[in-house]
Structure 1
Amino acid sequence: MVETTAVVVIGGPPINKSVAKYLPRYDYVIAADSGLHSAIDLGLRVNLVIGDMDSVDPAVLISAAANGVTVQRLPHDKDATDTELALLAAVAYGSQQIVLVTGGGGRLDHQLGILSAMQHQALKDCDVSALWDTARIQLLRGPGLCTIHGKVGEVVGLIAQHGDALGVTTDGLKWALNDETLEAHSSRGVSNELVATTATISLAHGQLFVIQPTALES
């Protein structure tokens, strides 16, 4: 079965334009509100714009609609962010792989909300990752295996989410783990390093973020 890949571009601070070359082959592009501007800047052909449209340029939105982009306008007062609803739209499209693109920065509650939305239960069967300014973030759910690539000496962080990450085993990292536990609310997984250009992280139970803070060119 061929995986369907969606790219979700969200609003906020300007996006690192080198991100475009790190995108996988994709089938569908969703822009969350003013993420439409960033998607256009990256040269992406947008299929859907979703959100309350409080930050997108109306003229840009009208032009997009005239060029066949579907516009899904939502109420300003709602119980979910435009980012979360864009991710859910990617699931509704049938995507098995979802790559979120953000410039990072901005309000702290927005940033934490993005990380929370990436872990939405509706996305549990999807391969979810983010290109976050100069960082690459992958969500690893157990039981599962994650393979990463980079330069020797590059920093890698493993951060447990929603409880302890159990049975963590790594290969290719300086501080190796062998069927160990990364406890929730612990900083133990911060600032590991690649000792090879390819590394693997396996997880028996729980979930964690695999973060490469400098994986993308600035």
Structure 2
Amino acid sequence: MTPPTEPSVTVVVVAGGDPPTPEEIARLPANPVVVAADAGLDHAQAAGLMVAVAVGDMDSVSPEALAAAEQSGTRIERHPPDKDQTDLELALELAARLADRVIVIGASGGRLDHLIGNLNVLASPAWAGVDIEAWLGNAQAVVVHSHRALAVEPGTTVSLFALGGPARATTSGLAWPLNDEVLDPLTSRGVSNQVQSSSPQIAVSEGVVLAVIPHP
């Protein structure tokens, strides 16, 4: 007799960039586990999300949001301002211990250096066993450590980027496929591919690939 499989767990990480849009909130799974990264607590509360844990140095969250979270029973994990990790990295570290899938919202906008750092943090091998994606307002970024099927329709634009070093990838369902080929992070080889069939596949045997799907 086959043992029952454990139900998958999705954690939503709310970052402190631009507030998530109503459309993004509506697309979230029902009753998600929510982790807020610092000022992401303000965004989460404004969107009506129940936050399980707020994490960070709490230098940018509003005093009102922090007081409301403490009163509602949200667990607060404070870290010193003089730390080596961003608040988002701390939130992802926590989320990866809890989840099979992590959706990051609120990570776009704000400072360019934060956005670049956030995209690199998403691809950390520390959470290679978790499906991670970020909703970035006008785009979706999907991390591929081994294999992912993208939930996109034919005609959609997809760009593939190697993060952290060269990545060896094989794709199917794209106009210009890769067949066990190397993507170099210092070239534009993977930019602006086109989806030809539903649910295109990306398999990565070495390195990490970030699939970016712009929204019209």
* Percentage of pairs with the same residue: 37
User: 1:188 matched to which residue of 2?
Assistant: 189
- The structural deviation recorded for 1:16 is 2.2
User: 2:152 matched to which residue of 1?
Assistant: 150
**1:36 match: secondary structure:** helix
For 1:74 and 1:194, how far apart are their aligned partners in 2? 43
Q: Is the 8 A contact 2:39 2:62 kept in 1?
A: yes
User: 1:130 matched to which residue of 2?
Assistant: 134
User: 1:98 matched to which residue of 2?
Assistant: 102
Once superposed, what is the RMSD of the aligned Cα atoms?
1.8
User: 2:45 matched to which residue of 1?
Assistant: 40
Q: Is the 8 A contact 2:17 2:106 kept in 1?
A: yes
Return structure 1 stretches of 4+ with deviation > 6 angstroms: none
Whether 1:87 aligns to 2:92 is yes
Q: Is the 8 A contact 2:120 2:164 kept in 1?
A: no
Q: Report which stretch shifted further, 191-200 or 79-88.
A: 191-200
Q: Report which stretch shifted further, 116-125 or 150-159.
A: 116-125
TM-score (norm 2): 0.89
The count of residues paired between Structure 1 and Structure 2 equals 211
Q: Deviations over 1:172-210 (max 9, x none)?
A: 212122222222311110001112332111222221101
Alignment of 1:8-27 (within 5 A): 8-24=13-29, 27=32
Where structure 2 has 5 or more consecutive residues not aligned to the other structure, the ranges are 1-5
- The one of 49, 52, 72 equivalent to 2:77 is 72
Whether 1:59 aligns to 2:69 is no
Q: Is the 8 A contact 1:135 1:211 kept in 2?
A: yes
For 2:30 and 2:126, how far apart are their aligned partners in 1? 23
TM-score (norm 1): 0.88
**1:198 match: secondary structure:** coil
- The structural deviation recorded for 1:120 is 2.7
Q: Deviations over 1:115-155 (max 9, x none)?
A: 122123321222211111121111111xx221112233221
Q: Report which stretch shifted further, 13-22 or 107-116.
A: 13-22
Alignment of 1:157-176 (within 5 A): 157-166=159-168, 168-176=169-177
Q: Is the 8 A contact 1:5 1:26 kept in 2?
A: no
- The structural deviation recorded for 1:3 is 2.4
Q: Is the 8 A contact 1:29 1:45 kept in 2?
A: yes
- The structural deviation recorded for 1:26 is 5.9
